A and B are shown apart, each in its own frame.
Chain A
């Protein structure tokens, strides 16, 4: 673990620098790099937005040991909130915060009764919720545009239009950075550490006076809020929303990302989102077969490294401490 940990901070700085520089046209600074094309920027933006939502799922699945099948629904709540409020002329940051806040509140209302009962039941309730939200989005044309969807305009922030892809990308990058550090801060706070205790051993945590249920509920609500935040960026990114991305299938995909990336590890959601967003791009040569290849890769990955890609990387970095590295994945054991 230590060798990996020592590398962490420089790695994060490097990643951030790359994310800032790679999409930009650097020829003006004497560097022969023309930046990414419009589509490259779009995919990178989509990856970041997906990562935000996946971070939320990771908090719920990886840290709180619950299962959520509603992240796409929360993405939808955020997306339609931002689409409607941006259209009504509200400033972006207000819209962004409201989208997150609304998702948080819905998360509390949804999680409170579900968490009264046994394990797995949150998954069932969130499944019902996702389908219900999807029906509402499809059928309430007056609000959501129904199956025909609705156009979304990219916002103007402090007089700067975010219409160009690169400008909007930097907005997303900034929001991703803020949300990432916010989550890190939460997890490193005393509250967050209680959380880790909870993850390692819920029964002990309870005996230490941690109100397990409240913690899990808050984790669910915060995780859902991340879905809302992601949605608030997703709608203006795509500039068009309709019911498809907010159905049950995409919700399952969010769970898949987090587990494939490495549930309970901080980098997991970013890697998982990359698998879900970027991998199909690389598989384009296979045309119609890409979904089959994608699904086989997922199944193989689960069989070969059930702790996800991060688990695999950690295993490579710490061969001598393998048993300990395996201990790092208790989430999965707990999910049992």
Chain B
């Protein structure tokens, strides 16, 4: 039982990170109907912005974190939208998807050549102390990750549903044409989506790197998990991505213990296929009614 709880908590903590990345998937999906194959690299990169700021800029850690967030907004938000998405979106989804595949190779190898091929230790935001709850050892870092992840998600939910800009963003996502007629500044709303995605990626990066180290290739696993999480939870709902992330995180751990370590990756995928067959809009998603 203690083992089970241990796995559950570790799974939820990992899953919360997946959720942060998965929300980005769903946001970009809603606004541009595209799959960002570089999403994993988006989570890998900000940690290296911070490392670079400390190594070459001599910045203290807190400043480096701010630099990482700012650079993410600039590069993964503004530049990504302006240089890659905008020129391509009018040609349909496919060239854009291909371009993000190119981008993921570019970011991965760029970091490898510009910084290092070695995994890098990353300073922890939370002290690495262990505490015991109900016979389960939990590190403060894990609890911190959980609190921040859920905090961010909660704020985002509130922002999307409870503020004017948030509702305009949702209107844009659901039907840009109608939104434009209703006077919503669609272009700006789309930019906000990209900025939020970049901020979430930076957040995930700063949270996960102290625990799992910063490495150029770490986006591969993350991107895949976030992608599966987004589909399982529902590709068009923020709260779906959260549920999906946690389910994937927990399932992965449970599968390793109770099914097989060799096939642990297969279990979330089986779930994914079942979801697609029986509930294609995802666990918490709503049916897509938008005419293409």
Contact = CB atoms under 8 A, between A and B. Distances in A.
Direct contact between the two chains A and B in their complex (CB within 8 A): yes
Contacts of A113: 277
B113 A292 contact: yes
Given A113-B277, A117-B277, A335-B93, A299 B288 contact: no
A256 interface: yes
A124 B266 contact: no
A135 B263 contact: yes
Interface in B13-50: 33, 35, 37
Indicate the size class of the contact surface on chain B. Answer: 35 or more
A333 B269 contact: no
B280 A292 contact: no
Interface in A104-150: 113-114, 116-121, 123-125, 127-128, 131-132, 135, 138-139
B273 interface: yes
Contacts of A117: 276-277, 280
Nearest to B260: A139
B224 interface: yes
A219 interface: no
B104 to A, nearest CB: 8
Interface stretch (B84-92, B120-128, B197-205): B84-92
B109 A131 contact: no
Given A121-B280, A295-B106, A306 B113 contact: no
B177 to A, nearest CB: 14
Contact of B292 (A67, A131, A336): A336
A318 B105 CA distance: 34
A260 B103 contact: no
A125 B276 contact: yes
A33 to B, nearest CB: 37
A143 to B, nearest CB: 14
Contact of A298 (B96, B98, B228, B273): B98
A238 interface: no
A299 B103 contact: yes
Interface in A282-331: 288-289, 291-292, 294-296, 298-299, 302-303, 306-307, 329, 331
A306 B94 CA distance: 9
Contacts of A307: 91
A306 B276 contact: no
Given A289-B113, A292-B110, A332 B266 contact: no
A61 B94 contact: yes
Contacts of B174: none
A252 interface: yes
Main secondary structure of the interface of A (DSSP, over half): helix
Interface string A11-53: 0000000000000000000000000000000000000000000
Contacts of B8: none
A299 B84 contact: yes
B269 A132 contact: yes
Nearest to B108: A291
A114 B94 CA distance: 19
A135 B103 contact: no
Contact of B276 (A119, A121, A263, A298): A121
A295 B280 contact: no
Contacts of B156: none
Contacts of A256: 98, 101-102
A135 B92 contact: no
Given A256-B101, A296-B106, A303 B92 contact: no
B97 interface: yes
A292 B93 contact: no
B98 A260 contact: yes
Q: Most chain-B Cβ atoms within 10 A of its Cβ — which of A132, A260, A303?
A: A303
B134 interface: no
B99 interface: yes
Contacts of B272: 124, 128
B94 A332 contact: yes
B262 interface: yes
B98 A302 contact: yes
Interface of A: 61, 67, 113-114, 116-121, 123-125, 127-128, 131-132, 135, 138-139, 248, 252-253, 255-256, 259-260, 263, 288-289, 291-292, 294-296, 298-299, 302-303, 306-307, 329, 331-336
When A and B form their complex, which 10 residue pairs have the shortest distance between CB atoms, in order from nearest? A298-B102, A306-B91, A306-B95, A295-B106, A295-B105, A128-B269, A332-B92, A117-B280, A335-B94, A302-B99
Interface of B: 33, 35, 37, 83-84, 87-88, 91-99, 101-103, 105-106, 109-110, 113, 224, 227-228, 231, 262-263, 265-266, 269-270, 272-273, 276-277, 280, 288, 292
Given A128-B228, A139-B262, A336-B92, 10 more contacts: A114-B276, A124-B276, A127-B227, A132-B269, A139-B263, A291-B105, A295-B103, A302-B96, A329-B91, A335-B92
